[in-house]
Structure 1
Amino acid sequence: MLPDERSEHEPAEPDLGPDIPNVEPPDGGFFGPEDAPKELLSAFWKLVVLFNVGLITASLGVLFVLFEGRLRLGGGLLAVGLLALARGLYSYWRLDLDKLGTDSD
């Protein structure tokens, strides 16, 4: 008997629910990175870098101060991280999506 054949004594596979529906994505309103305006992508990646640098350096600064007792290094990293986070928040709040969303091409 082959491994994929069933014996007459083996129960049938259980019904696990309805079939998965095939859903088509909507045409309007959604766009991928290739369709986005270049200014919007640039602003997005600028914010990603600022927030990542801010979170990593602030976290490392706190860890250096608490666990190693290195106030100068930890304080410097914490300051750089907080400045990067503040700059990211400021850029995010000042971001005008209506201006970035219009494509002049």
Structure 2
Amino acid sequence: MEEPEFGVLLAEAGNQGLEVIGAVRVLTGLSAWRSGQLLKSAPTMVVEGTWFEAAVEAVRSLNVVGARAELVCGWCQRVMPATDCPVDPERCSSPYLSPTGCPASRPGS
């Protein structure tokens, strides 16, 4: 079965400017200036179209440096805060997966 793609929403840039810019650069490959511009446009998608595990790791890496990032399911568009990663208690509403088929809904993902 095909798995949904996930994205990372940068909800808030936080107060750790240079550290967050560095984390965004690692995730996106953007220059420091473009990463700073991305932070100023929060809330914005930082990563799109990646697999679940990579998106969860990206959310964690941004949150560790003081930003607030959230996981977004590409199929049902659920936004999951870092406190719920990697498991969201809500059932996936994707038309392509069973309610328990989405990796964000599986215990122990």
TM-score (ref. length: structure 2): 0.22
Greater share of residues in helix: 1
Kindly indicate whether structure 1 or structure 2 has the higher relative contact order, using CA contacts under 8 Å at least 6 residues apart: 2
Greater share of residues in strand: 2
Q: Which has the larger radius of gyration?
A: 1
TM-score (ref. length: structure 1): 0.23
